[in-house]
Amino acid sequence: MKDWIISVMEQMGYFGIALLMFLDNVFPPIPSEIIMPSAGYTASQGQLLLIGVIISGSIGSLLAAATLYWLGRKISDQKLYAFVEKYGKYLFIKVADVDKSLEWFERYGHRIVFFGRMVPAARSLISIPAGMSKMPFVKFMFYSGLGTVIWTTFLAYVGYYFGNNTEMMHKIFSQVSYLILAIVISIIIWIVYRRQKRKNSK
Q: How many residues does the chain have?
A: 202
Contacts of residue 135, defined as CB under 8 A and 6 or more positions apart, other chains included, come to 69, 110, 113
- Does residue 194 register a pLDDT over 80? no
Q: Span 107-129, mean pLDDT?
A: 73
> Which is nearest to 102 in space by CA: 137, 74, 79, 131?
131
> Which is nearest to 119 in space by CA: 104, 137, 140?
104
**pLDDT, averaged across the chain:** 76
pLDDT digits (tens, 9 = 90+) for 165-174: 666 666 655 5
67, 23 contact by CB (below 8 A): no
Distances (CA, A) of 128 to 24, 25, 39, 174: 15, 11, 28, 27
pLDDT digits (tens, 9 = 90+) for 122-131: 666 778 888 8
> Which is nearest to 114 in space by CA: 24, 169, 104?
104
179, 60 contact by CB (below 8 A): no
Q: What is the pLDDT of residue 15?
A: 92
pTM to 2 decimal places: 0.72
- Does residue 197 register a pLDDT over 70? no
Alpha-carbon dihedral sign for residues 63, 4, 92, 112 = negative
- Per mean pLDDT, which of 50-59, 131-140, 159-168 is the most reliable? 50-59
Q: How far apart are CA 41 and CA 164, in angstroms?
A: 8
Q: How far apart are CA 183 and CA 186, in angstroms?
A: 5
